[in-house]
Amino acid sequence: MSADVDIVIISCGKLPHLRKFTQGAIASCRKSSDKLIFNITVVETHEDGEKEYEGADRTVFWVPSDGQFNYNRVLNFGTHFGDAPYVVHANNDLRFHPHWAERLIQTMQKYKIRSVSPRCPRHAEQKKFRGQKEPAYGYAIRQEMSGWCVMMERSLWRELGGLWEDVPYWYSDVMYVDQLQAADVKHALVPLSLVTHWANRTTRKLPKEPRREMTQGAKPHYQKAKRIRAATMTSPYANLGFAKENVPGKELSTLKIGGPLRHVLRPNNLESLKKACLRADDRDDPVLMLGGGSNILFPDEGWPGLVILTKDLSHFHMENKLAVAWPGLMYASFLRQAALRNLAGVFQIAHVPGTMGGSVVMNAGFGPTEGKDIAKYLVRVEVFNREKAKTVTLTKEQCQFGYRTSIFRGRPDLLVLRSYFTLPAMDRKAAESTIVSSQKSAAKFIRACGQGCPNAGSVFIHTSYDPPKGVKGMNRGGACWSETNPNWINNLGGATAADVKWLIDEAKRLCKEQGKPEPELELIVV
């Protein structure tokens, strides 16, 4: 039976009393209604706290891939685990009173309001609304806006492009207010709906200085984020994530080459990614998905299409004993997250500076040996088919993996969303030690090949390339074939795409002159 309301609860189970808060919130929510069906997702944010919470439909583990906690990013992540018409974003330090959800939904339906909050009977700022039967419209934090608990229509969350993730924690509710106002969407407090908020009891135990930094120090960060966000709102993709225009390609490529990219979008949820692709198709804008920016060469004159950055889609979770990787998750982070769960991966490519989406497309691996590539443990891939405008699932066999290739390579109509893996068991400490060892070994190789310069890794597919004599050290402008690895082109400073293309053509010419087969490009030339 489908749920009426999806409830996303952020938890930090670092200590027993913190888990107790979460467990209490779940229990009170379950008892609050015998009419509505709740789908409760607890997003656990402490790396050692992944234990199932009794009464929750699921407990998913979230550790930031970049080391930075982000409140709204966690909520966006949790919102994907359901499809109910209403979504509630909630703290864990709450007690839900009887019929709180029915009263919110009744008010939303009667007054056609798309975003509402319950009232907290403890907070002085909301006591003035006690006894009021009509909704109180407004956006004031701790008055009409209860930042600790918000219900919205799922369709609104999709239209907004998810919650803005411009600040880490404090002022996240203020950013949501900014979002609503920018979209001209009303918000209201429903005084008859009660949810008690225990008011930051978790942070009260912090020392004074860190607590001050989290609160007062957050305001300048928010003000800067607001200015930056305001400057991006003219983009045709602005409501689908963080959008910018005319971004230098060299800023997004490990090769540090490329002119202005007309549209760049950083969506924070998969729905926005799909919508961006369809909108680009309507506008006749070509689309390029970009993860870590390795293995790509942007043109000197720039590019007129839409570049979708997947860095905010960097989640990892377990589903029916399968490890699930989102497209923007770096492969090294994938291995570290697997290790936290006592699981192993293909350690030989722990050094690869690419994302899981790009790694699947390229079937990233270490050398030509089978079993040392991303496909080794892969089970299936969730894909968005742009031509059919729908999400499909492909099995490992249907992905047609080969050496540094797959069905996705050269197919911009197929976008990798989530990849599912069955990983072997391995002790956490042993896995982490192996990751570090692999990365140290690879670092020496990279330093030798890259000569301390920006590069894109392998230019040609290894198995197709027999380096010709005379290619090592060959240079053109600021670009140079590596002295130690004749399959790497380094940017010595000021290199252009034209310089790189000339070096590639020269290597092909020398191969032909010396009776060697023409090598196949691994580098993506836009």
213: Cα within 13 Å, side-chain hemisphere: 5
My answer on whether 165 and 268 are in the same domain is: no
**Does residue 446 lie within any of the structural domains?**
no
My answer on whether 396 and 481 are in the same domain is: no
**Does residue 442 lie within any of the structural domains?**
no
My answer on whether 47 and 195 are in the same domain is: yes
CA distance 387 to 412: 10
Q: How far is CA 135 from CA 15, 188, 208, 307, 479, in A?
A: 38, 6, 37, 42, 65
My answer on whether 280 and 376 are in the same domain is: no
Read out DSSP for 503-518? HHHHHHHHHHHTTPPP
Print the domain residue range for 399. 316-430
My answer on whether 249 and 201 are in the same domain is: no
pTM of the model: 0.86
Read out DSSP for 119-139? EPTT-GGGGGGTT--S-EE--
Q: Which amino acid is at 266?
A: R
My answer on whether 300 and 324 are in the same domain is: no
My answer on whether 156 and 289 are in the same domain is: no
**Does residue 54 lie within any of the structural domains?**
yes
**Does residue 62 lie within any of the structural domains?**
yes
Last residue of a domain, one of 309, 333, 348: 309
**Does residue 296 lie within any of the structural domains?**
yes
Strands (E), 75-125: 86-90, 94-96, 115-119
Pull the structure tokens for residue 41. Answer: 């997702």
My answer on whether 111 and 11 are in the same domain is: yes
**Does residue 220 lie within any of the structural domains?**
no
**Does residue 275 lie within any of the structural domains?**
yes
Q: What is the three-class DSSP state of 414?
A: strand
For residues 454 and 254, is the Cβ–Cβ distance under 8 A? yes
My answer on whether 305 and 183 are in the same domain is: no
Q: Find the CATH number of the domain harbouring 483.
A: 3.90.78.10
CA distance 392 to 415: 10
**Does residue 156 lie within any of the structural domains?**
yes
Q: Find the CATH number of the domain harbouring 374.
A: 3.30.465.10
Per-residue pLDDT of the chain (526 residues; tens, 9 = 90+): 689 999 999 998 777 888 899 999 999 999 999 999 999 999 998 766 557 899 999 999 887 766 678 999 999 999 999 999 999 999 999 999 999 999 999 999 999 999 999 999 999 899 999 999 999 999 999 999 999 999 999 999 999 999 999 998 889 999 999 999 999 999 999 999 999 998 766 556 555 665 565 566 688 889 999 998 988 888 999 989 999 999 999 999 999 999 999 999 999 999 999 999 999 999 999 999 998 888 899 999 999 999 999 989 999 999 889 999 999 998 888 988 898 889 988 877 777 778 999 999 989 877 666 667 889 999 999 999 999 999 999 999 999 999 888 999 889 899 999 999 999 999 989 988 888 887 777 677 777 676 678 998 889 998 899 999 999 999 999 999 998 889 999 999 999 999 999 999 999 999 999 999 999 999 999 9
Calculated CA dihedral for residues 422, 326, 22, 123, nearest 10 degrees: 180
For residues 42 and 60, is the Cβ–Cβ distance under 8 A? yes
My answer on whether 110 and 182 are in the same domain is: yes
Give me the sign of the Cα torsion angle 380, 524, 441, 314: negative
My answer on whether 146 and 118 are in the same domain is: yes
Number of domains in the chain: 4
My answer on whether 192 and 284 are in the same domain is: no
- Contacts of 274 by beta carbon, 8 Å cutoff, 6+ apart: 384, 391
Last residue of a domain, one of 381, 399, 430: 430
